Amino acid sequence: MHWPVPLKTDRVTDGNVLCIPTLEDGTVDIDTKEWNFIKTWELMQELPKTGKTKAVGVSNFSINNIKELLESPNNKVVPATNQIEIHPLLPQDELIAFCKEKGIVVEAYSPFGSANAPLLKEQAIIDMAKKHGVEPAQLIISWSIQRGYVVLAKSVNPERIVSNFKIFTLPEDDFKTISNLSKVHGTKRVVDMKWGSFPIFQ
């Protein structure tokens, strides 16, 4: 489940083309009365029985979202994974710890800060990468793996894909320096979908 947001379907008029239904003013058309992510999960958790998938998971779920899902009356399974935005400026410590406690694998998307990869241009990252003789991307991936979650580092460049596999263990002081970047520069969410008043990250 990509987002814990119920969208209305009566405005989807593109046939088989999936799209986000919007109102005339351009805002997302959210269904807050007839549907919710619990109902979707009740259907999703039956999919492994069909043999079409081995497991089901969620994405962009907060601690409160996961609690609501797990405590729902008809819940039968724990999500296999929660795919969330994680990078040095959005470390998500509490959410990661909560997922691990519940046996949910955490997957980090946008580890470099999304499309323009702004974190690869962060001077502290560049300087530390030079110190260790690696690329900034390798440094961030290594830091992420060392924190104990799956990293989804998107690339279409074959050389970069190979390079991204070359990880190493950071010394404790350097690991802490990267971990504290959000305290120095402030936390920053790059993937900030506008779902109106829906409490997506609460």
DSSP 143-186: HHHHHTSEE------HHHHHHHT---PPPHHHHHHHHTHHHHH-
Q: Is 144 exposed, middle or buried (0-12, 13-18, 19+ CB in 10 A)?
A: buried
Nearest C-alpha neighbor of 88 from the set 151, 46, 17: 151
Query: Which structural domains are found in the chain, ordered by start?
Result: 1-17+26-73 (no CATH), 80-185 (3.20.20.100)
At residue 26, does pLDDT exceed 80?
Answer: no
d(CA 126, CA 30) in angstroms, rounded, equals 41
pLDDT, position 192: 62
At residue 65, does pLDDT exceed 60?
Answer: yes
Across 8-12, 70-74, 150-154, 180-184, least confident range: 8-12
pLDDT category at 7 given cuts 50, 70, 90 is: low
Phi-psi region of 41 (alpha: psi -120 to 50; beta: other; left: phi over 0): alpha
Fill in the DSSP letter of residue 33: S
